[in-house]
Amino acid sequence: MQVEAVSNINTISELQFGTGINHAVHAGRRADFALLVSMFSNDVRDNTPVEQIDQVEITDQTLRQRFDLQKPQQLQSDQSSYQISAQQAHQFHHGGLASAKLAHYLIPEALVYLPEQTHSLPEEVYHNLSLHQQRKLGEKEPRKLMPFDLYNQLVEAQRTAQIRAQA
């Protein structure tokens, strides 16, 4: 199986397999059961319904606007950081150290240049994460919480499966 195919698996709980786990247990297929269970998410928040709490968010940006402070020096690089760094190198080569310092004080460059598309993590750490954790880092919009009527949905799914089995 190719890595791209494995990374697209978004299995969270046994509801997504239907009766596959049940058949594996009753038929004594331990390998199938172990494979299916190993693909589940290890985060308990994926399987537990929780209620979302709204909080008033106080960010660095709102505090800077409130106290009229200037923008801080960037900690991590982005696409504009390379242009700023090239400008400072140009100032150093043509005007010396004093010119480069002045350019840095006017527009400070980023403190660290990290690889892109690793969600601000070093590459070794990012590639060591499980597929579920990489998927969560890549999510752009917040996940929907599990419904509170989960038990009713489970009962309904069981009844539907029983009706299909009898038909």
**Average pLDDT value for residue range 138-152:** 77
Label each residue of 43-66 as H, E or C: CHHHCCCCCCCCCCCCCHHHHHHH
User: What is the Cα–Cα distance from 150 to 48, expressed in whole angstroms?
Assistant: 10
- Which residue bears the tokens 């480069």? 100
Which range, 11-15, 54-58, 65-69, 100-104, has the best average confidence (pLDDT)? 100-104
Q: How many helices (H) and strands (E) does the chain have?
A: 9, 0
Average pLDDT over residues 127-146: 83
pLDDT tens digits for range 91-106: 999 999 999 999 888 8
Query: What's the rounded Cα separation, in Å, for the pair 37 and 11?
Result: 10
Mean per-residue pLDDT, 35-55: 74
The answer to whether residue 4 scores a pLDDT higher than 70 is no
**Residue 76 bridge partners (DSSP):** 112
Least confident of 2-6, 13-17, 60-64: 2-6
Note the pLDDT tens digit of each residue in 67-84: 887 788 888 888 888 899
pLDDT at 100: 92
Average pLDDT of span 50-69: 84
Report if pTM > 0.75: no
